[in-house]
Amino acid sequence: MRSSRLLSILMLLQTRGRMTAERLAAEFEVSVRTLYRDIDALSAAGVPVYADRGPGGGFALLDGYRTRLTGLTDQEAHTLILAGLPGPAAQLGLGQAMADAQLKVLAALPEGPGAAAMRAQARIHLDPVGWFRQADGGDWLTVLADGLWRDRRVAVRYGPRRPIDLVLEPLGLVLKAGAWYLIARSQRNGAKGEVRTYRASQVVAAEVTEEGFERPARFELATHWTRAQADYAESLKQGVARLKVTPDALQALRRDGVEVTEVGEGVVETPMESPDWTARELLRLGTGVEVLEPPALRERMGALAAQIAALYAI
């Protein structure tokens, strides 16, 4: 356990640069005293880690020091290959770079982990796009990514119907269920706006400007995305639907990740969005589901069913 933590501390210092003892201790959920003992252990092992005192100080590695890719387990080697998604990388204009990087990693790995990584590459392929769908990135994804890599503001026209002009500070790109989303902060008349989510496919024009910007010091993409997803899901809820379902329909709902609570024999409750959207989603279950409440959703289901019946009447 400790050896793994020591290696992780070394990798963090190598990738992030100088870090305070408090930050490192919080990262690994240990006390500051334990962290100091870990630093002493790294120094004793010959790792050139040194401390800067005073404000803005912390621990850092001697300039130019790099560790080699040794000590990897077979499972860790597997993840090096699984971490690369060729489709999304190609969308970002990084397909060849990712392939080259994987070759270099495989060449640097010792024989055992290297063979394990090759086995993973030959046996597992990751495809994040849903069935019968194409990847949703739009025509301007590589431009947005260019601004993101270089910390440059991007002037965009956004919106499929009535596009608006925006200047965005790109903070991250997220691939969710085959669709790309840009996390960015708007910039208007010198004032910083909120960090918002923009669907990349709805960008109808984009150009990277020569204006740089400074990323928020405490911004963490994964944390922000998790919170944004939860807020978005909560904002869509407009009540609870009570449904009578067959076993097959219940299984289908759960297979699709729908939150359902059994409240009686064959009766479940689930959070609902608007009556129109929820009715269209439930229609795919056919006669396997009957809406009991609320009345607005039941009426909408009946209206849609009547329209379908009229369309196919013989």
Domain spans in the chain, listed from the N-terminal domain onward: 2-61, 74-123, 141-219, 240-311
- Cα-based distances in Å from 143 to 136, 154, 204, 205: 15, 8, 12, 9
Token code pair at residue 286: 């056919």
Residue 2: pLDDT over 80? no
Helix pair 295-311, 275-283: axis angle to 10 deg = 50
More reliable by pLDDT, 313 or 306: 306
pLDDT digits (tens, 9 = 90+) for 247-300: 999 999 998 888 899 998 999 999 998 899 999 999 999 999 999 999 999 999
pLDDT band at 170 (very low <50, low <70, confident <90, very high): very high
pLDDT band at 167 (very low <50, low <70, confident <90, very high): very high
According to the model, what pLDDT value does residue 122 have?
65
CA angle 300, 133, 184 (to 5 degrees): 85
Residue 15: pLDDT over 80? no
Mean pLDDT of 175-191: 82
Selection from 203, 209, 198, 92 nearest residue 153 by Cα: 209
Selection from 192, 245, 246 nearest residue 215 by Cα: 192
Selection from 79, 84, 86 nearest residue 120 by Cα: 79
pLDDT band at 60 (very low <50, low <70, confident <90, very high): confident
According to the model, what pLDDT value does residue 86 have?
67
The reply to whether domains 2-61 and 141-219 share a CATH topology is no
Helix pair 95-108, 111-123: axis angle to 10 deg = 140
According to the model, what pLDDT value does residue 196 have?
92
Residue 235: pLDDT over 80? yes
Mean pLDDT of 113-121: 64
Q: Structure pTM?
A: 0.60
**198 bridge partner residues:** 182
Tell me which of 2-6, 211-215, 261-265, 308-312 is least confident. Answer: 2-6
Residue 230: pLDDT over 60? yes
Residue 80: pLDDT over 70? no
Side chain identity, residue 165: D
Mean pLDDT of 175-186: 88
Q: For all residues of the chain together, what is the average pLDDT?
A: 82
Residue 78: pLDDT over 60? no
CA 135 from chain centre, in angstroms, equals 15
According to the model, what pLDDT value does residue 255 have?
87
Q: Which architecture, in CATH terms, is 2-61?
A: Orthogonal Bundle (1.10)
Side chain identity, residue 231: D
The sign of the CA dihedral 13, 18, 20, 21 is positive
Token code pair at residue 299: 């009426």
- CATH code: domain 141-219 is 2.30.30
